[in-house]
Structure 1
């Protein structure tokens, strides 16, 4: 029992969706296991406040969040309070002092006017109006009503009385002195803590002017009252500057390869914290690499899934291809892992020996080119992880580029007809591309290498290309047989005339063999004209009538100089013999383990068509005979190739039975056969369109016209001589 048989057995127990899901899950788990093994950081059994048994380095660059936060806090603390200088406050305070003097003058004027309006004989009343208490009360009332500040509580009554009692000259001088000194003092930046010093300086300045004692005291008090802080603390600006200072702090990093602790050194709490943060402790390993690889695997499996969803194949074929791809994928990863182990032995550049083109070659040959391109990209990404270095870099870009270009070269250089010699040639081209990629990496990196190292690298590149070809050729037969895949190479092998069945066909039924070759010529050209698989059609034609080897004389192309045995048989018996050749042929092909596609062609090439000759012959004897009893059991052609072979088989046999057919007769006969097949619904189960059918018909006519073209009939040489001699005499 081969691999395909086991798969079919599993399919009989579980549904397509469940089986496919299991394949994806198993593939994802295996890929995750292999890739994580290469990025998992090494962990150590260490304790705080102990001695390090070996030197430990950081496997990657990380930001020390704790140290960075401390540095930011320190930077914020170093930022002083932010102050904003309010220059306009000086003018406001000057205006306030001027307003006080204005109200003093206004009060004195009003009081004087009121006293003049009283009867001069009423001395007591005049004295009451002019009394200082009354004037002070009026002044305070005006100040409270017109000034928002509580001036009357801040400026003493003595000062206000001094202002009210001063004559106009002293009042004006006092005004000028106070305003001048307030302007000068407020022109400077004054913070809250400097207000007392500013007031003292203003008082000293007024004292130096030489005013009278009472006036000087009042002027000093007014000036000191006017002096306020004009360089004010701004909490919002302070906070903004703190944030800016914190943002300007560069993150404190532990660099990749940096020594955390040296062998024999003491592991203090800070070092232990760094080891814990890096996930280097066995008691607290980091889970980030696992999640990272899991995301990569999710992307990879997702890409494969959506690619298969869009493949235009049946579910069974998709599942086979998925299993095949998974197997090739895992083989490639295992090969990468083996070479990675060789790289760990410090063999310089050994990674370049990887046979990167194996998977792309196999997938292109066995599935298609588009999927081979996708898998090349996926494998290059996987290679960058497998060959990653825990110290110098998590991802190896160089090996990723090497695998990518090697795989692309193999896809481009393998032609459609993948013979073994073509695969070997493709391997040589891949080797050349490998050398060019290595040169590119060396020159861009600017490294200095010796001649011997260059030679080693080039040898690795050549071995990589040739090894890819050898492994492809070696694995191909096993994969084709195990998964029942019919590749171009397999078709070419089956077309070899030395195949036992073809030799049997040639020796036992030469007429059938010749007929099969003629049908193959017709079918191949017609298939290629509509984009179908011409090689499959040709090989299928070679084997489609193998069932006739069981009873050769009963088929007209093998009846040479013998009586037709059907003349002595009842039509029912003849019908059974003729119909049996399709099922006998399929049985014989299965016995020789030929691909399913070839077996299907042998079984379907007559579909459910009617054996008209024997049906009407039987009907002459028995009018009640059923038409269905004289039809092939089918199934009808399921593919375009099988449908075209069905037509080619009928057309070739019909045209061959005509004597010296003309082009018009051939075209008329071909069109009639095509119409009969259509009306008999023989193409209902395949995706052959009417447009394609028209192209196929034209192709048949052209090919048949070339085979059965009319020939010039030359007269016999001896007869020509007699005629000539007679004419001369």
Structure 2
């Protein structure tokens, strides 16, 4: 029955991996832009490496975005403003002037001929002033269109006038006429009103119409025409033709039934890349491959990077470097190791190379930035290290872009300074790795160096409780932590994880602290009143009880692994021998720890350090030779009991660990000079 359940679990786990693989391939292909891929790679300033290229179809030469933007700018700067002419205002002005003159002539006894001449002069002056109208605000353009009687009349700026200019013009007209004591210029100037107003809606409509007439192409290329010859340098003119052919080719390629073949091609390439990832993890990171939670975590990060980049390519292609791709190796290195982080980063960049513009340049910069991330992004729990790493990544982007620009242009002109701002923004977004690590810990139940640093604080709730309830065990754990950390550093294991595991490995002793010798402060031993079998059970149960306490306090599984394995499947020899004195046929299995045996370098180091430190308390007159033989005996016994067969630790590394333990114990038990009393 148990074998059947094991097989079912095994096949269920394998089936999940297949589903994860298939779903990841499908999602990545779904994220990709809906267009084909041009079969030629080319860059400005580099020779054409293929055979002579002839136009396979008729196509238009498309203008660049810069050319279109320049045309739009020119139209905006030279647009024609439209003004509306109000014909009612001149009539109202004439009526007001007529009324004023009638009042004046009633008070004065002038002749009819003079009166008529003044009225005619007033009317002609007003007509002259309002010939093109009076503007409220003078335009900036050299000429405008004035809508008068439903007709648009082009008027030069020199013929336009405002209220101030109109009053001066009236003074000039009236000055040469004999008006006697009639203040005609003042009278007309007082009642003048503007009658030409800017027509915003009509102006904008005309601008839109001009904009809509901009051509996005500038010529045609006929089928069969030579576009570029082999070895010819790709320069401005043929670069535009090649880019136009590329756009036409990719859009044509996606039409009809071709898109099914394109999807199939993308799916095959992405499947190959992800298969390489699976094979790498299975071959070199078997513990990660067996853990579906960790596999899911890796693939979720890849999918997020692909999604963010493809969305940027579809919407703002020029800002593709805003996506902080270096977050990926930073996070994976923090949770796993540098090699896995770099491998996943490179494969992700290969996938994105299918869709990003200037794929060679993009892949080069991203891979170099990823390598710098791996080399510099260590100990992220130290905030300064993260800032230094991000600064170096940003600098690599800037230097790389600068070098590519020189290669393409041959000079320093035309540098897009906005890209430097984009690289800085990329660096700022990379700083988000810190809170993202915390979020991932909560979602996937993983543990990072940041969390390990928090757990290593001896003022934490659980370690304080251990120091209060079992001070001897707490002191023993500190000693073991120091030994294990030093050994882990020497063989390049995870020293932070090893130290934290050592600090918590014996928390199960808090339930019955008096039954463990390090906590016994008197000569009274409670085991003296218990049968050996029951005493052994209490000793062995501290492992299970420790796991329960750890789970209640939400310790990470990677730390709980140290509690489970620090005694492996060893035997409590002392109580076994006592039991065998009374019952020679005693089953040794009743006196064995439940296991499992250590399955990593870190847990193996803890088992050696724990056994050596605990047994060292029995040394009465320690010398270097005594300590050397003592360590060799304990570790040899563990190896003969097959405690390290599942751990990825080599014999050479075990020898290094023993050497460190000997040195540390020699320092602890060094002989002191006897001072005279």
Tell me whether the two structures share a fold, i.e. TM-score over 0.5: yes
For residues 320 and 11 of structure 1, what CA distance do their matches in structure 2 show? 18
For residues 40 and 65 of structure 1, what CA distance do their matches in structure 2 show? 16
TM-score for the superposition, normalised by structure 2: 0.63
Structure 1 residue 384, shift from structure 2 partner: 4.2
Aligned partner of 1:112 in structure 2 is none
Structure 1 residue 285, shift from structure 2 partner: 5.7
Aligned partner of 2:287 in structure 1 is 314
Aligned partner of 2:656 in structure 1 is 695
Deviation track 1:412-449 (CA, whole Å, cap 9, x = no partner) reads 21126654442232112212222222322333333876
Residue 430 (str. 1) matches residue 403 (str. 2): no
For residues 251 and 340 of structure 1, what CA distance do their matches in structure 2 show? 31
Structure 1 residue 324, shift from structure 2 partner: 2.0
Matching residue within 352, 362, 379 for 1:399: 362
Q: Gaps spanning 5+ residues in structure 2: where?
A: 39-51, 59-223, 229-239
Aligned partner of 1:445 in structure 2 is 408
**Secondary structure of 2:329 counterpart:** helix
Give the greater-gyration-radius structure (CA).
Answer: 1
Aligned partner of 1:593 in structure 2 is 554
Q: Go from structure 1 to structure 2 and tell me whether the alpha carbon gap of 1:382 and 1:448 turns closer, same or farther (over 3 Å shift).
A: farther
Q: Go from structure 1 to structure 2 and tell me whether the alpha carbon gap of 1:420 and 1:493 turns closer, same or farther (over 3 Å shift).
A: farther
Is the contact between residue 547 and residue 583 of structure 1 (CA under 8 Å) also seen in structure 2?
Answer: yes
Aligned partner of 1:610 in structure 2 is 571
Aligned partner of 2:310 in structure 1 is 337
Q: CA RMSD in A?
A: 3.7
For residues 7 and 380 of structure 2, what CA distance do their matches in structure 1 show? 34
For residues 483 and 525 of structure 1, what CA distance do their matches in structure 2 show? 30
Aligned partner of 2:371 in structure 1 is 408
Q: Gaps spanning 5+ residues in structure 1: where?
A: 1-7, 42-60, 68-248, 261-273, 389-394, 717-729
Structure 1 residue 302, shift from structure 2 partner: 3.5
Identify the range of structure 1 (508-517 vs 277-286) with the bigger mean alpha-carbon deviation: 277-286
For residues 528 and 280 of structure 1, what CA distance do their matches in structure 2 show? 57
Is the contact between residue 525 and residue 534 of structure 1 (CA under 8 Å) also seen in structure 2?
Answer: yes
For residues 261 and 586 of structure 2, what CA distance do their matches in structure 1 show? 78
Structure 1 residue 26, shift from structure 2 partner: 1.0
- Write the mapping of 1:527-566 to structure 2, written as runs, cut at 5 A: 527-561=488-522, 563-566=524-527
Structure 1 residue 624, shift from structure 2 partner: 4.5
For residues 474 and 417 of structure 1, what CA distance do their matches in structure 2 show? 11
Residue 661 (str. 1) matches residue 658 (str. 2): no
For residues 281 and 519 of structure 1, what CA distance do their matches in structure 2 show? 65
- Write the mapping of 1:106-125 to structure 2, written as runs, cut at 5 A: none
Structure 1 residue 681, shift from structure 2 partner: 4.0
Residue 355 (str. 1) matches residue 324 (str. 2): yes
Residue 457 (str. 1) matches residue 454 (str. 2): no
For residues 277 and 625 of structure 1, what CA distance do their matches in structure 2 show? 80
Identify the range of structure 1 (511-520 vs 405-414) with the bigger mean alpha-carbon deviation: 405-414
Structure 1 residue 599, shift from structure 2 partner: 1.6
For residues 650 and 401 of structure 2, what CA distance do their matches in structure 1 show? 50
Matching residue within 30, 34, 39 for 1:33: 30
Structure 1 residue 36, shift from structure 2 partner: 3.7
For residues 280 and 696 of structure 1, what CA distance do their matches in structure 2 show? 62
For residues 480 and 643 of structure 2, what CA distance do their matches in structure 1 show? 18
Q: Go from structure 1 to structure 2 and tell me whether the alpha carbon gap of 1:352 and 1:642 turns closer, same or farther (over 3 Å shift).
A: closer
For residues 249 and 388 of structure 2, what CA distance do their matches in structure 1 show? 54
Residue 296 (str. 1) matches residue 282 (str. 2): no
For residues 546 and 284 of structure 1, what CA distance do their matches in structure 2 show? 66
**Secondary structure of 2:284 counterpart:** coil
Structure 1 residue 382, shift from structure 2 partner: 3.9
Aligned partner of 1:466 in structure 2 is 428
**Secondary structure of 2:564 counterpart:** helix
Residue 709 (str. 1) matches residue 670 (str. 2): yes
**Secondary structure of 1:15 counterpart:** helix
For residues 372 and 466 of structure 1, what CA distance do their matches in structure 2 show? 20
Aligned partner of 1:324 in structure 2 is 297
**Secondary structure of 1:572 counterpart:** helix
Aligned partner of 1:380 in structure 2 is 349
Is the contact between residue 481 and residue 498 of structure 2 (CA under 8 Å) also seen in structure 1?
Answer: yes
Q: Go from structure 1 to structure 2 and tell me whether the alpha carbon gap of 1:310 and 1:318 turns closer, same or farther (over 3 Å shift).
A: farther
Structure 1 residue 308, shift from structure 2 partner: 2.4
Is the contact between residue 486 and residue 597 of structure 1 (CA under 8 Å) also seen in structure 2?
Answer: yes
Matching residue within 279, 282, 285 for 2:252: 279
Residue 475 (str. 1) matches residue 436 (str. 2): yes
For residues 567 and 337 of structure 1, what CA distance do their matches in structure 2 show? 72
Aligned partner of 2:90 in structure 1 is none
Is the contact between residue 339 and residue 350 of structure 1 (CA under 8 Å) also seen in structure 2?
Answer: yes
For residues 281 and 557 of structure 1, what CA distance do their matches in structure 2 show? 75
Aligned partner of 2:594 in structure 1 is 633
For residues 254 and 662 of structure 2, what CA distance do their matches in structure 1 show? 80
Residue 21 (str. 1) matches residue 56 (str. 2): no
Structure 1 residue 623, shift from structure 2 partner: 4.3
Aligned partner of 2:62 in structure 1 is none
For residues 611 and 308 of structure 1, what CA distance do their matches in structure 2 show? 38
Is the contact between residue 35 and residue 250 of structure 2 (CA under 8 Å) also seen in structure 1?
Answer: no
Q: Go from structure 1 to structure 2 and tell me whether the alpha carbon gap of 1:387 and 1:567 turns closer, same or farther (over 3 Å shift).
A: same
For residues 333 and 663 of structure 2, what CA distance do their matches in structure 1 show? 33
For residues 265 and 581 of structure 2, what CA distance do their matches in structure 1 show? 80
TM-score for the superposition, normalised by structure 1: 0.59
Structure (1/2) with the larger helix percentage: 1
Q: Go from structure 1 to structure 2 and tell me whether the alpha carbon gap of 1:678 and 1:450 turns closer, same or farther (over 3 Å shift).
A: closer
Q: Go from structure 1 to structure 2 and tell me whether the alpha carbon gap of 1:310 and 1:689 turns closer, same or farther (over 3 Å shift).
A: closer
Is the contact between residue 53 and residue 226 of structure 2 (CA under 8 Å) also seen in structure 1?
Answer: no
Structure 1 residue 612, shift from structure 2 partner: 2.5
Is the contact between residue 428 and residue 465 of structure 1 (CA under 8 Å) also seen in structure 2?
Answer: yes
